[in-house]
Amino acid sequence: MVKIGLLMSGQGSEAVGMGNDLYQDYPIYRDTIDQASQLTQLDLQKIMNDADLLGQTRYAQPAIVAMSVGISRMLTDAGVSTAGALGLSLGEYSALIASGMFDLTTGLPLVAKRGALMQATVEAHPGAMIAILKPDINQIQAACETIQKTGETVAIANYNSAKQIVVGGTQKGIQALTTLFETLEVAPKVIPLPVKGAFHTALFEETAHQFEQALAQVTFKEGVYPVISNTTEQPFEVASLQATLTAQMYQPTHFATGLTQLAKQEVTTVIEVGPGNALSKFARQTVPQLDRFNISSSAQFETVVAALKEGAH
């Protein structure tokens, strides 16, 4: 029996023109984007087609969430049933809205507030992030601790899969860490990421507690399916949702563990919804037995729905 888990895109997956064909072809998607634009007082369709705007955290975050929620609504409308969901960082908000733990009316202004606060932090305290391929976690942790002793912030920010983690920190800290790696007998492979902030590190702790005030105004509900938290590595719970989403901003994400949790819930198929396909790659690296799809275009949506109907027979 096919059991479907949704994977919700995080920041960094955005691309100019994302969702344009969906906006043209599917009224339910178009209505979602238009409603999200009204709720945030942002022209999200314009933002999705403007490289300068989309490159700013304050605009990219609501745009990505609106797109992901729009696609999830298309799937529901097509009769696709969901058994669970997992988002990467920002994508958790898409998953929580899609599951019903809070609605679009509440969720989109919250995401816009989060994006604006994080943008301000990026401007006040610029940071850097690097992806490390095939990491030796103990080696990376020891190297981070060496740099931390100099007073700079560096820490593992994202445990994406067994084959990729991300380290974030101050610009000086990341530069020192990269230099330290070059002195090691076996230097890890490092890829600089095109971001200006060190998300999911201590540099965002003060921002998180500012955002907590906005979270305190929200009433959360039980979702129609479980959403796995990047922070606790367990399904979100209504009673602790405010605390978990606060901690999420400055603690590392554990996406790989979330994937294994979905598999333990007997999910057989994952569908990545939103721009990009990075999460599908992490799924292949972490739980290779899962069937994988991703939807960021009309053609992909039609292919996925047809494949699921074919598999149901």
Q: Which candidate in 37, 72, 94, 200 is catalytic?
A: 200
- Secondary element (H or E) of residue 295: strand 291-295
Known catalytic residue at 72: no
Asked if 41 contacts 307 with a C-beta cutoff of 8 angstroms, the reply is: no
Known catalytic residue at 89: yes
Angle at 278 between CA 112 and CA 24, to 5 degrees: 60
Tally Cβ neighbours within 10 Å of residue 132: 22
For residues 152 and 131, give the distance between their C-alpha atoms in angstroms, rounded to a whole number.
18
Per the structure block, which two tokens stand in for 38?
């009204």
Asked if 253 contacts 230 with a C-beta cutoff of 8 angstroms, the reply is: yes
The torsion of the CA quartet 86, 89, 93, 95, rounded to 10 degrees, works out to: -10
Q: For residue 110, what are the CA distances in angstroms to 113, 216, 218, 228?
A: 5, 11, 9, 19
Per the structure block, which two tokens stand in for 10?
């995080």
Q: Which candidate in 37, 72, 89, 298 is catalytic?
A: 89
For residues 234 and 154, give the distance between their C-alpha atoms in angstroms, rounded to a whole number.
26
Best CA proximity match to 7, nearest among 312, 214, 274:
274
Positions marked active-site: 89, 200
